[in-house]
Amino acid sequence: MFAFKRKTVLIVISLLLATGLTFLQYRYFKSMAESDRKIQVVVAAADIEAGEDITGRIGLKTIPQSAYVKGMYLPNEKVSGYAKVNISAGSYILKEMVSTEKVPVVENGMRRVTIGVNLTSSLAGKIRPGDVVDVGWVPKEQEKGAGSKVIAQKVQIYDVVNKMGEDTTKKGDKKNQYEKDMLIPSAVTLIVTPEQAVMIKYHEVIGSLFLVGY
């Protein structure tokens, strides 16, 4: 009787082990099959330079699902905006490569220069990267004989940051009483020629700069 019970227990244990092994094998091969499943993602249909509109310049590429990474566009997602970086034909277009706003581009021969601003000198803070402005100058009182003037015309804004060096076009993660202050520009970076850069910084020392909008 004891031997019969022992044999029965061993049989049950063997069946349980076999069932568990079969289940693990099923899960393994199922995951392998799923990882080999093919999906389509968005790629550049042609070379796209930084600052260019990518709308209508995309194609699809089939890849294994295991090769998918977060940030890739899927066929059912809307893809539009401006390239932040150069994208070669056939390359994957990632979401962090695309901006909904027009992207300023520093072309050959141009430079970036940063000036300090406040709420009034930056058009009440209503400025964004890509905007085109003039740079005006008001002399200090001791600069006798000097008159206010525009020292640079039709220059493009490259970047706008607050006193913490953060992008003013992006809302903070924390909703608090200081959030409005974070949207006030403190420094503006402009795209100018080397000569304009020197002139702008010189006049910033001997007077006050302000932006003139169109």
The residue-averaged pLDDT of 112-126 equals 94
* Half-sphere CA count of 3, side-chain side, radius 13 A: 0
Strand, helix or coil for residue 37:
coil
Residue 192: name the closest of 104, 116, 120, 126 by CA: 104
Cα-based angle 123, 104, 151 (whole degrees, multiple of 5): 50
pLDDT tens-digit series, residues 150-159: 999 999 999 9
Cα-based angle 145, 147, 153 (whole degrees, multiple of 5): 145
The residue-averaged pLDDT of 129-135 equals 94
pLDDT at site 176: 46
pLDDT at 175 over 70: no
pLDDT at 178 over 60: no
Mean pLDDT for all residues in the chain:
85
Determine the Cα–Cα distance for residues 85 and 97; give it in Å rounded to an integer.
6
| Contact present, 135 and 154 (Cβ < 8 Å) | no
pLDDT at 14 over 90: no
Determine the Cα–Cα distance for residues 38 and 24; give it in Å rounded to an integer.
24
pLDDT at site 2: 55
pLDDT at site 73: 96
pLDDT at site 51: 87
Tell me the domains of the chain and their CATH numbers. Answer: 38-99 (3.90.1210.10), 111-213 (no CATH)
Determine the Cα–Cα distance for residues 38 and 40; give it in Å rounded to an integer.
7
Going by pLDDT thresholds of 50, 70 and 90, the confidence category of residue 69 is: very high
pLDDT at 177 over 80: no
